[in-house]
Protein backbone atom coordinates (compact mmCIF):
# COMPACT_ATOMS: atom_id res chain seq x y z
CA UNK A 1 0.00 0.00 0.00
CA UNK A 2 1.42 3.46 -0.91
CA UNK A 3 2.42 5.50 2.10
CA UNK A 4 1.09 8.93 3.03
CA UNK A 5 3.18 11.77 4.42
CA UNK A 6 2.82 13.22 7.89
CA UNK A 7 5.47 15.87 8.12
CA UNK A 8 8.78 14.15 7.42
CA UNK A 9 7.33 10.75 8.36
CA UNK A 10 5.79 8.26 5.96
CA UNK A 11 2.68 6.72 7.50
CA UNK A 12 -0.09 4.32 6.64
CA UNK A 13 -2.75 6.30 4.69
CA UNK A 14 -5.38 5.02 7.10
CA UNK A 15 -3.49 6.67 9.97
CA UNK A 16 -2.98 10.15 8.47
CA UNK A 17 -6.53 11.50 9.03
CA UNK A 18 -6.31 10.67 12.73
CA UNK A 19 -2.89 12.26 13.04
CA UNK A 20 -3.92 15.43 11.21
CA UNK A 21 -7.13 15.63 13.23
CA UNK A 22 -5.03 15.56 16.39
CA UNK A 23 -2.96 18.52 15.17
CA UNK A 24 -5.99 20.64 14.35
CA UNK A 25 -7.89 19.62 17.46
CA UNK A 26 -4.90 21.05 19.30
CA UNK A 27 -4.58 24.31 17.35
CA UNK A 28 -8.24 25.04 16.48
CA UNK A 29 -8.70 27.74 19.12
CA UNK A 30 -5.45 29.39 18.00
CA UNK A 31 -5.74 28.83 14.26
CA UNK A 32 -5.43 32.49 13.25
CA UNK A 33 -2.45 32.84 15.57
CA UNK A 34 -0.95 29.77 13.91
CA UNK A 35 -1.19 31.37 10.47
CA UNK A 36 0.30 34.58 11.81
CA UNK A 37 3.26 32.60 13.17
CA UNK A 38 3.67 30.55 9.99
CA UNK A 39 3.67 33.59 7.69
CA UNK A 40 4.80 36.43 10.00
CA UNK A 41 1.33 37.91 9.48
CA UNK A 42 1.60 38.17 5.70
CA UNK A 43 -1.09 35.50 5.18
CA UNK A 44 -3.72 38.23 5.52
CA UNK A 45 -2.39 39.98 2.42
CA UNK A 46 -2.21 36.69 0.52
CA UNK A 47 -5.83 35.91 1.41
CA UNK A 48 -6.94 39.35 0.27
CA UNK A 49 -5.19 38.73 -3.07
CA UNK A 50 -6.92 35.35 -3.48
CA UNK A 51 -10.33 36.86 -2.74
CA UNK A 52 -9.68 39.61 -5.28
CA UNK A 53 -8.68 37.00 -7.88
CA UNK A 54 -11.82 34.98 -7.17
CA UNK A 55 -13.99 38.12 -7.45
CA UNK A 56 -17.14 36.59 -5.86
CA UNK A 57 -20.40 37.53 -7.56
CA UNK A 58 -24.07 37.60 -6.55
CA UNK A 59 -25.83 34.27 -6.93
CA UNK A 60 -22.65 32.19 -7.02
CA UNK A 61 -22.14 29.01 -5.05
CA UNK A 62 -18.65 29.09 -3.56
CA UNK A 63 -17.06 26.20 -1.68
CA UNK A 64 -14.46 27.06 0.96
CA UNK A 65 -12.90 23.64 1.51
CA UNK A 66 -10.69 23.00 4.54
CA UNK A 67 -12.24 26.34 5.44
CA UNK A 68 -11.13 26.24 9.06
CA UNK A 69 -12.54 29.13 11.01
CA UNK A 70 -14.12 30.78 7.95
CA UNK A 71 -11.49 33.46 7.39
CA UNK A 72 -11.72 33.20 3.60
CA UNK A 73 -15.49 32.62 3.52
CA UNK A 74 -16.09 35.91 5.33
CA UNK A 75 -14.10 37.70 2.66
CA UNK A 76 -16.05 36.01 -0.14
CA UNK A 77 -19.40 36.75 1.48
CA UNK A 78 -18.68 40.43 1.99
CA UNK A 79 -17.37 40.87 -1.54
CA UNK A 80 -20.35 39.11 -3.12
CA UNK A 81 -22.75 41.21 -1.04
CA UNK A 82 -20.98 44.43 -2.05
CA UNK A 83 -21.35 43.45 -5.72
CA UNK A 84 -25.01 42.62 -5.12
CA UNK A 85 -25.61 46.04 -3.58
CA UNK A 86 -24.08 47.71 -6.64
CA UNK A 87 -25.96 45.83 -9.33
CA UNK A 88 -28.53 43.50 -7.76
CA UNK A 89 -28.87 39.76 -8.17
CA UNK A 90 -29.43 36.76 -5.94
CA UNK A 91 -27.65 36.11 -2.67
CA UNK A 92 -24.38 34.22 -2.97
CA UNK A 93 -24.00 30.96 -1.04
CA UNK A 94 -20.65 30.26 0.63
CA UNK A 95 -20.22 26.80 2.13
CA UNK A 96 -17.44 26.28 4.66
CA UNK A 97 -16.46 22.62 4.90
CA UNK A 98 -13.65 21.26 7.05
CA UNK A 99 -12.67 17.72 8.03
CA UNK A 100 -12.16 18.82 11.61
CA UNK A 101 -15.26 19.51 13.71
CA UNK A 102 -13.21 21.49 16.22
CA UNK A 103 -12.20 23.93 13.50
CA UNK A 104 -15.81 24.37 12.39
CA UNK A 105 -16.85 24.95 16.01
CA UNK A 106 -14.14 27.59 16.40
CA UNK A 107 -15.36 29.29 13.23
CA UNK A 108 -18.97 29.30 14.33
CA UNK A 109 -17.91 30.83 17.65
CA UNK A 110 -16.29 33.72 15.78
CA UNK A 111 -19.54 34.41 13.92
CA UNK A 112 -20.27 34.43 10.22
CA UNK A 113 -22.00 36.29 7.42
CA UNK A 114 -25.58 35.73 6.13
CA UNK A 115 -24.29 33.98 3.01
CA UNK A 116 -22.28 31.40 4.96
CA UNK A 117 -23.19 27.84 5.90
CA UNK A 118 -20.98 25.45 7.87
CA UNK A 119 -20.39 21.70 7.70
CA UNK A 120 -17.94 18.90 8.33
CA UNK A 121 -16.67 17.16 5.21
CA UNK A 122 -13.71 15.30 3.72
CA UNK A 123 -12.03 16.97 0.72
CA UNK A 124 -11.56 13.51 -0.82
CA UNK A 125 -15.28 12.65 -0.54
CA UNK A 126 -17.32 15.82 -0.45
CA UNK A 127 -20.98 15.44 0.59
CA UNK A 128 -22.06 17.39 -2.49
CA UNK A 129 -23.60 16.57 -5.89
CA UNK A 130 -21.78 16.79 -9.20
CA UNK A 131 -21.42 20.19 -10.86
CA UNK A 132 -22.98 22.14 -8.00
CA UNK A 133 -20.51 24.99 -7.47
CA UNK A 134 -19.22 28.00 -9.36
CA UNK A 135 -15.95 28.12 -7.43
CA UNK A 136 -13.87 25.87 -5.20
CA UNK A 137 -11.25 27.45 -2.94
CA UNK A 138 -8.90 25.67 -0.55
CA UNK A 139 -6.45 27.70 1.51
CA UNK A 140 -3.58 26.20 3.51
CA UNK A 141 -5.41 22.89 3.63
CA UNK A 142 -4.59 20.67 0.70
CA UNK A 143 -1.19 19.62 2.04
CA UNK A 144 -2.99 18.01 5.00
CA UNK A 145 -5.13 15.77 2.76
CA UNK A 146 -4.13 12.11 2.66
CA UNK A 147 -4.46 11.77 -1.14
CA UNK A 148 -3.97 15.17 -2.78
CA UNK A 149 -4.67 13.87 -6.29
CA UNK A 150 -7.98 12.40 -5.14
CA UNK A 151 -8.94 15.75 -3.61
CA UNK A 152 -8.18 17.51 -6.89
CA UNK A 153 -10.35 15.05 -8.82
CA UNK A 154 -13.13 15.63 -6.30
CA UNK A 155 -12.77 19.40 -6.75
CA UNK A 156 -13.26 18.95 -10.49
CA UNK A 157 -16.33 16.78 -9.90
CA UNK A 158 -18.24 19.35 -7.85
CA UNK A 159 -17.53 22.31 -10.15
CA UNK A 160 -19.91 23.42 -12.87
CA UNK A 161 -18.56 23.78 -16.41
CA UNK A 162 -16.64 27.03 -16.37
CA UNK A 163 -16.15 26.82 -12.62
CA UNK A 164 -12.87 27.95 -11.15
CA UNK A 165 -10.45 26.22 -8.80
CA UNK A 166 -8.16 28.24 -6.54
CA UNK A 167 -5.65 26.80 -4.09
CA UNK A 168 -3.57 28.96 -1.75
CA UNK A 169 -0.79 27.02 -0.10
CA UNK A 170 2.63 27.48 1.42
CA UNK A 171 5.09 26.53 -1.30
CA UNK A 172 8.73 26.59 -2.33
CA UNK A 173 10.75 29.85 -2.38
CA UNK A 174 12.02 30.72 -5.82
CA UNK A 175 15.63 31.57 -4.88
CA UNK A 176 18.25 29.72 -2.88
CA UNK A 177 18.87 32.73 -0.63
CA UNK A 178 15.18 33.05 0.27
CA UNK A 179 14.89 29.30 0.70
CA UNK A 180 17.72 29.22 3.23
CA UNK A 181 16.32 32.17 5.17
CA UNK A 182 12.83 30.67 5.20
CA UNK A 183 14.14 27.27 6.31
CA UNK A 184 15.99 28.89 9.19
CA UNK A 185 12.86 30.77 10.25
CA UNK A 186 10.59 27.75 9.79
CA UNK A 187 12.60 25.11 11.60
CA UNK A 188 14.22 27.20 14.33
CA UNK A 189 11.71 29.94 15.08
CA UNK A 190 8.18 28.67 14.36
CA UNK A 191 8.23 25.53 16.57
CA UNK A 192 9.88 27.50 19.37
CA UNK A 193 7.21 30.21 19.18
CA UNK A 194 4.53 27.52 19.02
CA UNK A 195 5.87 26.03 22.22
CA UNK A 196 6.11 29.42 23.92
CA UNK A 197 2.76 30.88 22.80
CA UNK A 198 0.55 27.84 22.25
CA UNK A 199 2.33 25.27 24.46
CA UNK A 200 2.40 22.94 21.45
CA UNK A 201 5.74 22.50 19.72
CA UNK A 202 4.88 19.21 18.01
CA UNK A 203 1.91 20.53 16.02
CA UNK A 204 3.90 23.48 14.69
CA UNK A 205 6.82 21.20 13.85
CA UNK A 206 4.45 19.02 11.80
CA UNK A 207 3.05 22.03 9.96
CA UNK A 208 6.54 23.22 8.99
CA UNK A 209 7.52 19.74 7.82
CA UNK A 210 4.31 19.32 5.85
CA UNK A 211 5.17 22.43 3.82
CA UNK A 212 8.54 21.00 2.85
CA UNK A 213 7.00 17.71 1.72
CA UNK A 214 4.39 19.39 -0.49
CA UNK A 215 5.05 19.34 -4.27
CA UNK A 216 6.71 22.36 -5.83
CA UNK A 217 4.73 24.79 -7.94
CA UNK A 218 5.29 23.21 -11.34
CA UNK A 219 4.68 19.69 -10.07
CA UNK A 220 1.41 20.81 -8.50
CA UNK A 221 0.34 22.44 -11.79
CA UNK A 222 0.80 19.02 -13.40
CA UNK A 223 -1.36 17.39 -10.74
CA UNK A 224 -4.14 19.96 -11.29
CA UNK A 225 -4.02 19.31 -15.03
CA UNK A 226 -4.10 15.55 -14.46
CA UNK A 227 -7.29 16.01 -12.40
CA UNK A 228 -9.04 17.41 -15.47
CA UNK A 229 -8.62 21.16 -15.12
CA UNK A 230 -7.74 23.42 -18.03
CA UNK A 231 -5.33 26.37 -18.09
CA UNK A 232 -3.68 25.42 -14.79
CA UNK A 233 -1.24 28.06 -13.58
CA UNK A 234 0.30 29.54 -10.47
CA UNK A 235 1.23 32.91 -9.02
CA UNK A 236 3.97 33.15 -6.42
CA UNK A 237 3.43 35.28 -3.33
CA UNK A 238 6.40 36.64 -1.36
CA UNK A 239 8.91 35.00 -3.67
CA UNK A 240 7.24 31.59 -3.55
CA UNK A 241 6.82 31.31 0.21
CA UNK A 242 3.19 30.79 -0.77
CA UNK A 243 1.57 30.26 -4.16
CA UNK A 244 -1.90 30.58 -5.63
CA UNK A 245 -2.69 27.78 -8.07
CA UNK A 246 -5.64 28.04 -10.43
CA UNK A 247 -7.51 25.92 -12.92
CA UNK A 248 -10.76 25.96 -14.85
CA UNK A 249 -13.42 23.27 -15.15
CA UNK A 250 -14.02 23.25 -18.91
What does the pLDDT look like over 110-158, one tens digit per residue?
999 999 999 999 999 999 999 999 999 999 999 999 999 999 999 999 9
Q: Which residues contact 42 (CB under 8 A, 6 or more apart)?
A: 237, 238, 241
Residues 92, 76 contacting (CB under 8 angstroms): yes
Residues 127, 121 contacting (CB under 8 angstroms): yes
CA atoms within 13 A on the CB side of 109: 11
Lowest mean pLDDT among 79-83, 165-169, 208-212, 219-223: 208-212
Residue 19, phi then psi, degrees to nearest 5: -65, -45
Name the pLDDT band for 192 (thresholds 50, 70, 90).
Answer: confident
Q: Are strands 159-170 and 133-139 parallel, antiparallel or unpaired?
A: parallel
Interhelix angle 31-39/190-198, nearest 10 degrees? 150
What confidence score (pLDDT) does residue 9 get? 81
What confidence score (pLDDT) does residue 4 get? 80
What confidence score (pLDDT) does residue 1 get? 42
Mean pLDDT in residue range 67-89: 96
CATH (residue range 4-248)? 3.40.50.150
Name the pLDDT band for 7 (thresholds 50, 70, 90).
Answer: confident
Nearest to 245 by CA among 156, 167, 164: 167
**SS3 category, 99:** coil
pLDDT in tens, 13-70: 888 878 777 777 776 667 777 777 767 789 999 999 999 999 999 999 999 999 988 9
Burial 31-41 (b: 16+ CB within 10 A, else e): beebbbbbbee
pLDDT in tens, 205-238: 888 899 899 999 999 999 999 999 999 999 999 9
Beta-ladder partners of 169: 243
Give domain limits for the chain.
4-248
83 pLDDT more than 90 = yes
What confidence score (pLDDT) does residue 71 get? 92
- What distance lies between CA 205 and its chain's CA centroid? 18
Amino acid sequence: MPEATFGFRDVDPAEKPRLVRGVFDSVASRYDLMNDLMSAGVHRLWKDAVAARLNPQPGEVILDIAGGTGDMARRFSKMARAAQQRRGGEDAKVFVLDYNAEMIAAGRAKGGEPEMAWGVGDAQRLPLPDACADAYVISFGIRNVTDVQAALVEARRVLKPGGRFLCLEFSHPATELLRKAYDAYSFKVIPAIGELVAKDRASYQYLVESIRRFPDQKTFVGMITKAGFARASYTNFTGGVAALHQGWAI
